[in-house]
Each structure stands twice: as C-alpha cells, then as structure tokens.
Amino acid sequence: MTGRWTLEPGRPATLTAPPVTDLADALAWLDTVHAELRAGLREHGAVYLRGLPVHGVDDFARVRDLLLPQPTPYREKATPRSDFGAGVYSSTDLPAAQAIAPHNENSYTLTFPGLLLFGCLTAPEEGGATPVADCRRVLRALPAHLVERMRTQGWLLRRAYSEHISTDWRSAFATDSRAEVERYCAENLISCAWDADGNLRTAQLRPGIVRHPATGEEVWFNHLAFWSRWSLDEEILDTLVEEFGHDGLPFDTAFGDGPPLTRDDLDAVRAAYEAATVRRAWEAGGLLLVDNVLAAHGRDPFRGDRRIVVAMGAPVDIAHCGPTVEPAAGAVRSHG
C-alpha cells in the first residue's frame, strides 16, 4: 500500500494514508513508509498525516512507539500540560484565546527532542491549528545584523519562578528539593539563586544558531523572541514591571553580550517566522510529525473543544549540532 503526498502553498507537506481497516493495518503501513516519511521530514521540516484511525491516547501511544521509539522527557517546564501517562501530554493547557508563538521545543536545554508527534483527538470548532515554520527559511529571512549577533554571541535566558506570576520551581523541575534543583542547574550550565521568599531565579547562555545533526543544515534555533519581554501584552508588561521590577519578570531574553531584544528586533524575528509558516486545520485522527531542529511550531487561538496530544522523542545533544556559541551559565540578577 502506498500513500499520497500533497504539497500545497501555505500548508505543510501532507501524506494521506491508503484505506486501512484498523490501527494494526495503519501501523503496518507506517512501518513500510518509515524511510519515505523521514525523507519527507528532512525536506520539509514537518509532515501532516491524514487518514489514520487514531481515536484515543492509547492509539496515539502505539503510533508514537513506532515513530518515536526513544522518548525525551519534558525538562525545565514552562507551560501547563496535562500528563496522560506513558509519555503522552496535552500540547498545552493555556487559554484558548491565547496564541502561542513559534518556538523549537526545549531549545534552552542541553538535550532536547529531535522529533515531536502531535495528534488530534478532538478537532476545534474554529482555529486552533498547530502552525510550523521552517527554521532554515527563518534564518535566511532575518536581517544580517541579527544573524551575526546571534552567531557570535548566542542568547541569554533569564527566568523568575513564582507560583503567583509564572511556573513555580517545583513544577518546572518536578521536585520539592532545592538541593535537587541546584544539582540539575550545576549539571546543565544554569546559574541559580534563591530570593528571601524562597523563589528561584535562573540564567543560561545558549547558542541560537545550530546545525541539524543529520543534514548539517544551519537553522535559527532558540526562544529569543518567544520569551522576550516585548512578547508580553503592553499592559501586562507594565503591571509586572511595576510590581516586580525589570529584573523580576517571569522570563526575559537578551543577546549573549547583554543587551535585550528591542521591539524592532522582535518585529523582524516575527516577520521571518511568519514568512516561513504553514498550517493545516486539524482533523480528528490527524497527526503532525515535526523535526524539532528544522521546524518551529506554535498554536493558533481557537473556539470549541480542542484535544491535541503530543509526545517527544529522538533526543539530541546540543554538542552534536555544531553550536556557534558554547552553552554556559549566565549571570542571575539580584532582586530589586
């Protein structure tokens, strides 16, 4: 049995399965086209799969076991997710009206998933696509001065963990032990400090331009724009700064030599992502396989019930991606 590939402007490369009677037949077909699917993934960065009988978490997990046999844990958590067990999570539990900007999953960790698999168990009434952007195209579309700064300086991520304004450190690091958090940070090149209220602050320097470990292609790979202070709604930003100060924001980014991203920089990065973005409306049973190095992903706002699950696998070490800047701990700013 063969599938049917379709390439349409503005949509991800799509592979439609032949008629299959049950999940066992679907898995057998996926096994026969595995090499073809991986080739399509290398070319396009993401592939949407249609026509498979994936009706629940268990079905999705069986497909995941075939396509992503080596799992990758979710490290340094940043957004709320529901854990359905067996390495299957909700894609996000953020409010439906909130758009999620394009990003490469866990780009700030030293080991991150090489592949992501999304599955639609319930399609939303309106909106809610998972857009993907080819990070090779993003890099080519960016202004030369931003590329050069990232290539030579990398990017700095600072986070302030608090149960009041962001993810608390216990949820983010999946432990109640300060010593365990400090051990993790030391092993993963992250500076950390505790304030008088018992909240945590961290800082880490990471490369923002890397090479795909298999193809050697250079890509824009970071959360620089995603976690910039300017990505926040202006009113929310003003309120947070007034309450916690510039150094107490839940997250902020800068180039590695210190200066934060400007609004103009953010607009330029957003424009590059948008020019490289494709999307397809979710259908129940649809799957989206994403090469997490070659492509960034996000989420469109939606109406109605939406149930999208995700699994992460094929772990990649940043050291195998030809980073232009070596990862290092950053400077944690004091409270004030």
Contact 232, 240 (CB under 8 A): yes
Domains 4-95+112-125+279-315 and 137-270+323-329 share a fold: yes
Q: What is the pTM of this model?
A: 0.94
CA atoms within 13 A on the CB side of 64: 25
Q: What are phi and psi of 67, to 5 degrees?
A: -85, -30
Using CA atoms in the order 162, 168, 170, 174, what is the torsion angle rounded to 10 degrees? -150
Which contiguous run of DSSP H or E holds residue 169? helix 169-173
Q: How confident is the model at residue 333 (pLDDT cuts 50, 70, 90)?
A: low
Q: How confident is the model at residue 119 (pLDDT cuts 50, 70, 90)?
A: very high
CB-count burial class (<10 Å; 0-12, 13-18, 19+) for 81: middle
CA atoms within 13 A on the CB side of 159: 28
Report, as an integer, the average pLDDT of 212-222. 97
Quick: pLDDT tens for 153-190.
Answer: 999 999 999 877 778 899 899 999 999 999 999 999 99
Average pLDDT taken over every residue of the chain: 92
Answer yes or no: CATH 3.30.420.40 is held by domain 137-270+323-329. no
Query: Would you list the DSSP string of 215-254?
Result: T--EEE---TTTT-GGGS-HHHHHHHHHHH-GGG-SEEEE
The CATH number of the structural domain formed by 4-95+112-125+279-315 is 3.60.130.10
Q: Which of 221, 203, 201 is nearest to 211 (CA)?
A: 221
> Does residue 73 or residue 27 have the better pLDDT?
27
Q: How confident is the model at residue 3 (pLDDT cuts 50, 70, 90)?
A: confident
pLDDT at position 335:
52
Domain boundaries, the chain: 4-95+112-125+279-315, 137-270+323-329
pLDDT at position 249:
84
Q: How far apart are CA 123 and CA 305, in angstroms?
A: 7
Both tokens assigned to 41 = 């993934």
Confidence check: pLDDT of 322 > 80: yes
Both tokens assigned to 207 = 């490369």
Q: How far apart are CA 327 and CA 110, in angstroms?
A: 8
